[in-house]
Amino acid sequence: MNILLLGAGGREHALAWKMAQSPLCECLYVMPGNAGTAQVAENVAINPNDFTKVGEFCLAKGIDLLVVGPEEPLVKGIRDYFKTQATLQHIGFIGPSAQGATLEGSKDFAKQFMQKYGIPTAAYRTFDHNSLAEAQAYIAQHSLPIVLKADGLAAGKGVVILNDYAEAQAILQEMIVAQKFGQAGAKVVIEEFLSGIELSVFVLTDGENYQILPEAKDYKRIGEGDTGLNTGGMGAVSPVPFADSTFLQKVESQIIQPTMQGLKSEGIDYQGFIFFGLINVAGEPWVIEYNARMGDPETEVVIPRIESDLVALFAATAARKLQDFELKISPQTATTIMLVSGGYPEDYEKNKPMSGFENLQEVIPFHAGTSLNTDNQVVTSGGRVIALTALGNNLTEALQKSQQAAEAIQFDKKYYRRDIGFDLQK
């Protein structure tokens, strides 16, 4: 099969790394990719949001399967574009329609969906500029802390948790009146705060059937001990020790199955990943959010634990034959530590030459924000630079390897968290 993967992060390097190992994979292209994907595939300098150009490329290269990494092209309707073009319809597609991706693209839609189908989620109400006074009154009588969420995509910055009424009122004004998040914040979801430990569960569905992939926990805060600003993710582990079979059974019956049923009832034909952002509240799973894609850096620990052929898994998904697929998962623990550019998630410098790759042992380096400069040297090109994934017989063993690798890779102003997994170690 000729395969095109859209995206440029660590998630895409992990997906490309795994697909490239498949005997079913003939030519693999990543659009636009990074210095890591260039080692296992051919990078293509086209913007994934330019659907016409993506379609032309697919025809020119005889692409059989298209896998979408990030949410933006999905929310903008790339699947709908492919399914309505006579020349592109035949291409197998991993990623939902714009309507399906609304589970991620609109928090208000996701909350309504969960409420309608009885899926456990925090109590909420949605407001816009027409109901500003009601929103102010709702905040005034709400218990603290209070969670404010911009309805639309806000690059991971649209959620604010407040312990003070005046601050909550000010953020509400910023979102709805001053339009701090543009259109994404035109509607605001105000919800109850849930206290517990978070984890992510991933499902791949062909529209009828689904397979549950390994669960993972990511570390979103920049600082050790889960302090400081939110980031895209500073590291991840899989499996998650507290997600035992009893807990995962609850996730399947109370969350995954009603979600599948809900999609069907709404007439949403969903082929692709569903990322369930969950929180464990006293042993019960609640949904914090849905995403219409895999997580990053969760993918960097989930994919290395999948022993089955990923291209065969995707082909079965596109052919709606997932029920026959035997998914093999490694019992090992995978950990990843993300090296980031100093200053991230605020301003940071780019183009720092990277070294030390030759000293890596027993680790898979998944490039996130890297590129090749004119001298063919790997340089930093983003906030999150590289995810260092290791497998081990337990969490301690895997973490030791990831930590050694985090020391071995060098670049100016490198930063990483030394405490990934700290809350899960016995």
Q: Which residues contribute to the site for ligand GLY (CB under 6 A)?
A: 218, 232-233, 291, 295-296, 298
Tokens matching residue 391:
């497998």
Other CB atoms within a 10 A radius of the CB of residue 109 amount to 17
Which chain residues interact with ligand AMP by CB under 6 A? 122, 147, 159, 161, 191, 193-194, 198, 220, 277, 288-289
Which of 200, 375, 384 has its CA nearest to residue 293? 200
Question: What is the rounded CA–CA span in Å between residue 303 and residue 290?
Answer: 19
Q: 365 is in the binding site of which of ligand AMP, ligand GLY, none (Cβ under 5 to 8 A by kind)? A: none
Q: Residue 232 CB, nearest distance to ligand AMP (Å)? A: 11
Which of 233, 231, 195 has its CA nearest to residue 216? 233
Pick between residue 80 and residue 198 the one whose CB is nearest to ligand AMP. 198
Beta strands in 105-145 (DSSP E): 124-127
Instruction: Tally the residues of the chain.
Output: 426
Q: Residue 295 CB, nearest distance to ligand GLY (Å)? A: 3
Sheet holding 197-205, edge to edge: 210-212, 197-205, 272-281, 284-291
Q: At what angle do helices 98-105 and 107-116 cross, to 10 degrees?
A: 100
Pick between residue 156 and residue 353 the one whose CB is nearest to ligand AMP. 156
Q: How many angstroms from the chain centroid is the CA of residue 371?
A: 21
Q: 6 is in the binding site of which of ligand AMP, ligand GLY, none (Cβ under 5 to 8 A by kind)? A: none
Residue whose tokens read 């030394």: 418
Q: 288 is in the binding site of which of ligand AMP, ligand GLY, none (Cβ under 5 to 8 A by kind)? A: ligand AMP
Sign, CA torsion 174/179/183/184: negative
Pick between residue 161 and residue 306 the one whose CB is nearest to ligand AMP. 161
Q: Residue 296 CB, nearest distance to ligand GLY (Å)? A: 5
Q: Residue 289 CB, nearest distance to ligand GLY (Å)? A: 8
Scored b (16 or more CB within 10 A) or e, 89-108 reads eebbbbbbbbbbbbbbbbbb
Q: 194 is in the binding site of which of ligand AMP, ligand GLY, none (Cβ under 5 to 8 A by kind)? A: ligand AMP
Q: Is 85 helix (H, G, I), strand (E, B) or coil?
A: coil
Pick between residue 258 and residue 295 the one whose CB is nearest to ligand GLY. 295
Q: Residue 297 CB, nearest distance to ligand GLY (Å)? A: 6
Pick between residue 237 and residue 379 the one whose CB is nearest to ligand AMP. 237
Q: 233 is in the binding site of which of ligand AMP, ligand GLY, none (Cβ under 5 to 8 A by kind)? A: ligand GLY
Q: Residue 159 CB, nearest distance to ligand AMP (Å)? A: 4
Tokens matching residue 20:
């490239």
- Give, as one character, the DSSP assignment of residue 227: E
Q: 291 is in the binding site of which of ligand GLY, ligand AMP, none (Cβ under 5 to 8 A by kind)? A: ligand GLY
Q: 296 is in the binding site of which of ligand GLY, ligand AMP, none (Cβ under 5 to 8 A by kind)? A: ligand GLY
Pick between residue 158 and residue 295 the one whose CB is nearest to ligand GLY. 295
The full DSSP string for 298-330 is THHHHGGGB-S-HHHHHHHHHTT-GGG----B-
Q: Residue 240 CB, nearest distance to ligand AMP (Å)? A: 14
